[in-house]
């Protein structure tokens, strides 16, 4: 069975890169979002629109994740849920979430939330998405799919 890529799509900056790698590996892609947007008309790609409830897309992805899937998300709590289901998990910048790194990522997320809560104005947020992030993501997704196909 071919691997499946589950995409937390509402704020995903690498959807085109996902399609490119998926076509090369003949991997299925499920693009999960709260609102509709265009996806390529291709038999490997399925658009999944969930209701607008809080974390509805995350819940759908967490439920669908398994050892034969790669989850693409910047959401640390979703990454944790997907890892617990046996999925490989990549951030859009290509950095993998792993069982050994997720605890530190969750702790950092909590610290940053506390810091933002104590600020008067808007916080800094993540650094801008760069060309090197795209390149790193393409390589990481390719490697993750190769590993899944070898199992």
For residue 57, what is the domain's CATH number?
A: 3.40.50
Residue-wise pLDDT tens digits, 67-82: 999 999 998 899 999 9
pTM of the model: 0.85
Q: What DSSP assignment string belongs to 65-109? A: --TTEEEE-S-HHHHHHHHHTT-EEE-TTSPEE-TTTHHHHHHHH
Query: What order do you get walking across the sheet with 88-90 strand by strand?
Result: 45-49, 28-33, 4-8, 69-72, 88-90, 96-97
Structural domains of the chain, count: 1
Token digits for 33? 């979002």
Contact call for residues 10 and 57 (beta carbons, < 8 A)? yes
**Strand pairing class (28-33; 45-49):** parallel
Domain range enclosing 109: 4-150
Residue-wise pLDDT tens digits, 34-56: 988 899 999 999 999 998 777 89
């Amino acid at each position: 069975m071919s691997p499946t890529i589950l995409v937390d799509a509402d704020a995903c900056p690498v959807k085109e890169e996902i399609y490119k790698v998926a076509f090369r590996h003949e991997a299925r892609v499920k693009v999960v979002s709260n609102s509709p947007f265009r996806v390529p008309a291709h038999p490997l790609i399925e658009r999944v629109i969930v209701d607008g409830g809080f974390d509805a897309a995350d819940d759908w992805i967490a439920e669908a994740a398994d050892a034969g899937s790669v989850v693409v998300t910047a959401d640390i709590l979703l990454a944790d849920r997907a890892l617990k289901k046996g999925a490989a998990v990549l951030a859009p910048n290509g950095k993998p979430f792993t069982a050994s790194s997720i605890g530190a990522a969750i702790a950092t997320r909590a610290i940053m939330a506390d810091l933002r809560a104590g600020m008067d104005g808007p916080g800094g947020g993540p650094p801008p998405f760069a060309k090197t992030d795209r390149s790193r993501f393409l390589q990481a997704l390719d490697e993750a799919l190769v590993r899944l196909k070898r199992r």
